[in-house]
Amino acid sequence: MIHTGETVPGNFYKQFVSFFVFIIAAALLLAACDSGGSGETDTTVKAGGDTSVDNRTSFAFEEPAANLSEESLIKHTLGDATFGDVFVTPPAVVNPGLGPLFNNVSCESCHIKNGRGLPEFGNTGLRSMALVRVSDPEGTPTVQGGNPPVEGIGNQIQDHATFGFEPEADVTLEWEEVTGTYPDGTPYNLRRPVLTIVLANGEPLGSNILTSVRIPPPVIGLGLLEAVPEEEILAMADPGDEDGDGISGRPNMVWNNIKQTTEIGRFGHKASMPNLRQQAATAYIEDMGVSSPDILGNEPAPEIDEETLELTTFYTQTLAVPLRAETDDPDVPRGESIFFDLGCSLCHASVMETGDHELSELRNQVIQPFTDLLLHDMGEGLADHRRDFQATGREWRTAPLWAIGLTVTVLGQQNYLHDGRARTLEEAILWHGGEAENAKDGFMNLPKGERDKLIKFLSSL
Amino acid sequence: MLSKKGILVTIVSILFVLSCGGGGSDDSGGGGGGGTNDEFIQSIIDDYVDNVVIPTYDHLRERSATLREACEALEADPTEESLEAAREAWFAARIPWEQSESWLFGPVDFKGHDPALDSWPVNRTDLDAVLSSDAELTEEFVGNLDPTLKGFHTAEYLLFAFDVDELGAREFEYLISVVRDIESTSEELYTDWAGGDEPFGEIMKGAGNNSVFPSQVSALEQIIEGMSIILDEVANGKIAEPFDNQDVEAVESQFSFNSRQDFANDVRGALHAYTGDHPGLGLIGTGLDELVAESDPELAQRMEDEINDAIDAILAIPQPFRDAILDPDAADEIVAAQEACRQAFDTLNNEVLPVIQQ
């Protein structure tokens, strides 16, 4: 079969249009400058700066940063293997170290295709990708400013165990439907998590114990966020809302367990992790029961060596950010204007510049992460009532929105927010409260067509 | 303030809509090139789904059923012959599975079927503990175990690491539950693509009308990306990891000495994905090769030749692979197989992909 595409006329048409567009654009630019515009993002800025890749497939989150040196690319490839390593019960020749208590067996078992994980618990079918953080308000923190662990459990419930050991608890997550109506009369449905935790001894978890369900976030672009200078984050903070825009924004100050000091937190749903190496070491020990040179846990010796920890960290630092989708759809720029007009960008800050970093590829990149890396009060609806360092039970770190439009392509479905309750971007917006109440209200008051345009814009990221 | 490019994009969009409006175009609304739906591209996507992916999964579920039957026959009458027959059934079931690794996306990934079928390494410490426990080894019990305690490689371990007289009642009980779990997972995988309320095959064929595949071109990119991933994985993972580290323990399918066949079938899957054909099942369809041939027939043929060269180069590695990695005389063949996969990878990404995206 021979395809009879209209390649030549198409190209001619584009050139023809481009010529006139250039003339008209030049004229209109002046008018736009005079009118002040609405603050859209600069589309010449690439989402992940020079790390960006043009890939909108389900493998889009598995690409190495586009600007890696040959040496870095080799290291990234080795890190890809360690990130995928499946751990088994020791003694074993390959990848020993699993457990005895754990949530899952490899990094990529939870971060599906390096994207977010599903709000799933259990052993049948889909296995635990989500986890429950716990703390005992009567307990004593093990690190300065940290969460007091629950006796016999720690700060995270491990709901799996190697054969012969009992998991700490059986976790069941169910959903309760919540209905609502837009001012224009359009109904909507949300769902709220209902958590049931039964301890190994058959008893329910004590009612005084604070719990917080977390799904794994996407892994892309994290090195860039690590390279954002602390001063840049602090400059966006406005804890007392001095500028009166209704948005505060506070940095979380968390414990660096290597430096044994407090510093700004960047990673995790409450920004409780200061850097990616600590994040990786913590995930190894907490999620997989694998000790490392940085965190031994209860193990007598590291079960992964320095090189493995370094490679996994490096891998998470050097994943590319996919470029925004190219589209001719005029709804997308309109949706973008709405995003700014509603004030979404006051927290989902569109442009940042990285500074110094040990990896040269991450330095001095202008990026569009759509986060300020700060904590914001998100209201009662989303509150977990569990403090995490300086984050209160109502505060969450602004989630980066870059590549959020690829979620359904990568994951086959959508689940957003810290516990995956939102099944669409629309539901995620509707859960916004607290400091984001005004923006949410603004969204709800838009005509449906305009609401859809905002979603289209988000889907183009 | 509006950026220059923002205005340009907006005006291009407006002019485009004005010029094309009312033409009944079926615009995808963004992603991967967008544009109107194209019957030719649609036929490539359709044949990929209907001639390659679904028949391969159908093949897998048939062969998984045969594996289960062979293992039941082995349990009923444990002889050298029945063990050999079960081993042959295992080899046969691996063929469609490995070929399907050229599209490790969709339900196989986000429904956890890949780890359930193909986790490696086998958790032998726990497996020994399970076998020596008094737990009832039902399919449900085994199904609920961690993926490293079930799937093809656990079945492989039980079928190939023991002689027939070393397999006791517990091993048989466990083996039967494992192969039943493989069969039911394969069945689910087939249904996820071909049946149910929202078959993934239909989602892919509906590219341009849904958000999973925002445009037809995005579906073609997905096909290419699936091929790329496996070509890279064979060259730089499956072969490189054990070869570079001179570590036989890092070899996939090491109990059955089936590694070389696994690699070759991985790349055969890529060939099927490229051509839209599944010659082994007598299915011939429209493939990416025909789209490439529209603008560059030489490239279309060269791409196919390079994939075939990669298969040949893999099959030229002396058997078994786990011994070859330690044999200096086999190093040239191993490196040549890696290079052939890398060559196909480079052509696919540097030459074929841009043609598809035009």
Q: What sign for the dihedral angle of Cα B116, B120, B121, B124? A: positive
Q: Before B121, cis peptide (omega within 30)?
A: yes
Share of chain A above pLDDT 70, in %: 91
Provide the b/e sequence for A384-411 (b: ≥16 CB within 10 Å). bebbbbbbbbbbbbbbbbbbbbbbbbbb
Which residue among A37, A88, A327 places its CB closest to the CB of B34? Answer: A327
Q: B244 CB contacts (<8 Å, ≥6 apart)?
A: none
Q: What is the maximal distance between C-alpha atoms in chain B? A: 80
pLDDT digits (tens, 9 = 90+) for B209-221: 999 999 999 999 9
The nearest alpha carbon in chain A to B240 belongs to: A78
Q: Which residues in A lie closer than 8 A to residue B218 (C-beta atoms)?
A: 56-57, 409
Local structure of A252: helix, strand or coil: coil
Q: DSSP letters along A190-241, please?
A: EEEEEEEEEETTSPBPPTTSEEEEEPPPP-TTHHHHHTS-HHHHHHH--TT-
Selected residue of B13, B17, B123 to mutate for chain A interface (largest A Cβ count, 10 A):
B123
B231, B310 in Cβ contact below 8 A? yes
CA distance B295 to chain A (A): 10
Number of Cβ pairs < 8 A linking chain A and chain B? 206
- Owner of token pair 């916004």: A432
Which residue among B14, B107, B148 places its CB closest to the CB of A412? Answer: B107
Which residue among B9, B143, B221 places its CB closest to the CB of A124? Answer: B143
Whole-angstrom distance, CA of residue B235 vs CA of residue B32: 28
Q: What is the pLDDT of residue A39?
A: 53
Q: What is the pLDDT of residue A197?
A: 97
Local structure of A189: helix, strand or coil: strand
Of the candidate ranges A118-132, A400-414, A416-430, B63-77, the one whose mean pLDDT is the lowest = A118-132
pTM value is: 0.89
Whole-angstrom distance, CA of residue A92 vs CA of residue A367: 43
What is the complex's ipTM, to 2 decimals? 0.87
- Name residue A366's beta-bridge partners: A353
CB pair distance less than 8 Å for A456 and B124: no
Whole-angstrom distance, CA of residue B191 vs CA of residue B79: 35
CB pair distance less than 8 Å for B295 and A7: yes
CB pair distance less than 8 Å for A112 and B123: no
Number of Cβ within 10 Å of residue A345's Cβ equals: 20
Q: What is the pLDDT of residue B37?
A: 62
- Name residue B279's beta-bridge partners: none
Provide the b/e sequence for B266-300 (b: ≥16 CB within 10 Å). bbbbbbbbbbbbbeeeebebbbbbbbbbbeeeebb
Whole-angstrom distance, CA of residue A258 vs CA of residue B64: 50
Q: What is the pLDDT of residue B168?
A: 95
B259, B321 in Cβ contact below 8 A? yes
CB pair distance less than 8 Å for B30 and A330: no
A278, A262 in Cβ contact below 8 A? no
Q: A306 CB contacts (<8 Å, ≥6 apart)?
A: A293
CB pair distance less than 8 Å for B13 and A125: no
Which residue among A24, A33, A42 places its CB closest to the CB of B11? Answer: A24
pLDDT band, very low/low/confident/very high, at A326 (cuts 50, 70, 90) = confident
CA distance B76 to chain A (A): 29
Whether pLDDT at B1 is above 80 = no
